[in-house]
Amino acid sequence: MKTLTLAFLFALLATGTAARAASHEHENHHDTATQQPAATHTGTGVLKAVNAKDGKVQIAHEPIAELDWPSMTMWFALRDPLPKDLKAGDAVRFEMMQGEKNQWVIVRIGRK
């Protein structure tokens, strides 16, 4: 009985650890298949890098509760060219929606 209980506890611990590790993976927090496809979500963060050629920005974003996202640094596609007054280091507020292939696309961005 004691052995069984211990084995059960270890199994629980192992499961918990695996679940926590997975939740920190980028893919995982982007897997929002259950979300409404056309909904926009608002985020805030700091602009870290700009790739104007590919139309992408890297943002260290704050947690986004409605998507259950933790804070993290990630790349977003831009639907439109980045406003000229924005540069790396700026605090920003942005609106995004899921585009093709579940990629997150920023549809509006500005200084916070």
Q: Write out the residues near Cu ion by the rule CB under 5 A.
A: 72, 74
- Which residue number, 74 or 86, has a Cβ lying nearer to Cu ion? 74
- Which residue number, 15 or 73, has a Cβ lying nearer to Cu ion? 73
Find the shortest distance in angstroms from Cβ 10 to Cu ion: 32
Find the shortest distance in angstroms from Cβ 95 to Cu ion: 15
HEC sequence for the chain: CHHHHHHHHHHHHHHHHHHHHHHCCHHHHHCCCCCCCCCEEEEEEEEEEEECCCCEEEEEECCEHHHCECCEEEEEEECCCCCCCCCCCCEEEEEEEECHHHCEEEEEEEEC
Find the shortest distance in angstroms from Cβ 27 to Cu ion: 10
- Which residue number, 72 or 97, has a Cβ lying nearer to Cu ion? 72
